[in-house]
Amino acid sequence: MDGGQPVPSPLVPLGNVSSDSSMSLEQKTTFVFVILLFIFLGILIVRCFRILLDPYRSMPTSTWADGLEGLEKGQFDHALA
């Protein structure tokens, strides 16, 4: 570049630049929210991999109808009344 003018960097924000280099409250809140989302995503990824590696461990050994007393399996009419 033959001009003598400095090229503006895209990483330096233009406009309202304060002399203090600390983040504003909105930036801090957004940063914390994004970090929490990444932690939540990491927990979900770990859980999915655990289910993929051992799918039968997460299944209950009993069925949904084991705890029913006085009702036949599959009979739903007037069960709550």
Tally the domains of the chain.
1
- Give the predicted TM-score (pTM) of the model: 0.46
Whole domain around residue 48: which residue ranges? Answer: 24-55
- Residue 13 corresponds to which amino acid? P
CB of 23 closer than 8 Å to CB of 31: yes
Whether 47 is covered by a domain: the verdict is yes
**pLDDT digits 0-9 by tens, 8-54:** 555 555 555 554 568 899 999 999 999 999 999 999 999 999 989 98
pLDDT at 19: 47
Task: Tell me how far apart the alpha carbons of residues 48 and 44 are, in angstroms, rounded to a whole number.
Answer: 6
Whether 49 is covered by a domain: the verdict is yes
